[in-house]
Amino acid sequence: RFGLAADSHLIAVDTLRWVDDAPLMRLRHWFDPERVPGWLERYRGGSTRALLDQHYGLRLHRKRVRIEASSADREDQRLLCCAHQAPLLQLTSDNVDADGSLVEVSISRARADRLAYHIDFPDSLTDEVSA
């Protein structure tokens, strides 16, 4: 996805989001280390987006998202405090900079019993589809 050589290394950052004092979603963020030099020294937890903006001047937006059903594995069970094989919603997102260059691939796994996704589409797309 990043267009790198097969033997290239990526940075993987795991985060866990909580809502109402309960774990809701685990995420794995993938970055090309060339785009975020010094990441390992700078990142101490919290919002990856805030760090990208503050230290790298990068404001990302989603270019592509794949939404699919999944089942909780043992790590999901431990981190999300859910049953093994509980239903999850998994999103795989390609996140790009202002020039459309890929900066991050993120994979989120969320408890389907506590989360719903709402997607709004621009009016211009709606107008084109109905025409």
Q: What is the pLDDT of residues 10-26, one digit of tens each?
A: 999 999 999 999 999 99
Domains and CATH numbers, the chain: 11-130 (3.40.1410.10)
pLDDT band at 37 (very low <50, low <70, confident <90, very high): very high
Section 75-86 average pLDDT? 97
- CB-hemisphere CA count at 13 Å for 45? 2
Q: Calculate what percentage of the chain has a pLDDT beyond 90.
A: 85
pLDDT value of residue 38: 95
* Pure H helices in 57-130: 74-80, 123-130
Section 113-130 average pLDDT? 74
pLDDT value of residue 128: 52
Section 1-8 average pLDDT? 91
DSSP string, 36-70: STTHHHH--SS-HHHHHHHHH----EEEEEEEEEE
**Total-model pTM:** 0.84
pLDDT band at 131 (very low <50, low <70, confident <90, very high): very low
